[in-house]
Amino acid sequence: MLWDTTIGAPQEWDVIAGGLTCMKMKMDAVVVHPIYDIASEVPKDANITSYSECPEDTAIFEATWVDKGFVWKFALQFKENQNNYFLERFYGVVKNEDGSVRRRWSYVEYSYPMAALGDSMSCNLLVTARTRFIDYQWQPFAQEAGGEYGPADECDRRLPPVAVFFCVFISVLAVVVSFVLYIIINAGS
């Protein structure tokens, strides 16, 4: 099985913006090709693309490499929200070596990890539909931690504030609709 792929020691990358380290990323990761029965470990020499950046309240880490006849690329997008940040989106693409796209994927999920600004996210396993991250430590918004890894928030999978608001809103709406229906039904009696 592809998820049983043995991988080595965690790799580490820094994203520099404006002369400052805005993101530190350490992980082992295996990306599974969405069609073919192959997987590729993100290598130490994976190139950090120019899309890796830290504008305002967003931090994007994008890596690309060539392996097994394909060009692999994946990205993690983090979003700042008040005094926290969360993994907002994960996406990737697999291309033939000539540059033609074989497959793209993108996932937005409300149970991705969340941490306090200045803290790093750390865990021994996070599995998405296409990627397995092992022994990772992510520090987006590293400027909040002096360009280093902050204290580790381990395996925190709280809902981001937008998702919490949405759940509360739907719950309140259901109560209001139920009450209005009750009034309408009983008014005719």
Mind listing the pLDDT tens digit for each residue in 92-108?
888 888 888 887 777 66
Residue of 122 and 175 predicted with greater confidence? 122
DSSP string, 16-32: EETTEEEEEEEEEEEEE
Within this chain, do residues 72 and 134 fall inside the same structural domain, yes or no?
yes
Only one residue has tokens 């996406």, namely 91
Tell me the percentage of the chain whose pLDDT exceeds 90: 14
Within this chain, do residues 99 and 165 fall inside the same structural domain, yes or no?
no
Within this chain, do residues 14 and 86 fall inside the same structural domain, yes or no?
yes
Within this chain, do residues 69 and 127 fall inside the same structural domain, yes or no?
yes
Instruction: Name the pLDDT band for 177 (thresholds 50, 70, 90).
Output: low
Determine how β-strand 47-48 pairs with β-strand 152-154: unpaired
Q: State pLDDT tens for residues 21-38.
A: 889 998 887 777 666 667
Tell me the helix, strand and coil percentages in the chain, rounded to 5. Answer: 20, 50, 35
142 token code pair: 């590293």
84 token code pair: 């926290």
130 token code pair: 């296409």
Within this chain, do residues 23 and 75 fall inside the same structural domain, yes or no?
yes
CATH number for 152: 2.40.160.110
- The total number of structural domains in the chain stands at 2
Contact 73, 49 (CB under 8 A): yes
Among the residue ranges 21-30, 85-94, 156-165, 177-186, the one predicted with the least confidence is 156-165
- Please tell me the distance from the alpha carbon of residue 134 to that of residue 26, in angstroms, as a whole number: 10
Q: State pLDDT tens for residues 109-160.
A: 656 678 899 999 887 777 766 677 777 888 999 988 999 999 988 765 444 4
Q: State pLDDT tens for residues 56-72.
A: 899 999 999 998 888 88
Q: Domain range spanning residue 29?
A: 2-157
Q: If DSSP states are collapsed to H, E and C, what string results for 116-163?
A: ECCCEEEEEEEECCCEEEEEEEEEECHHHHCCCCCCEEECCCCCCHHH
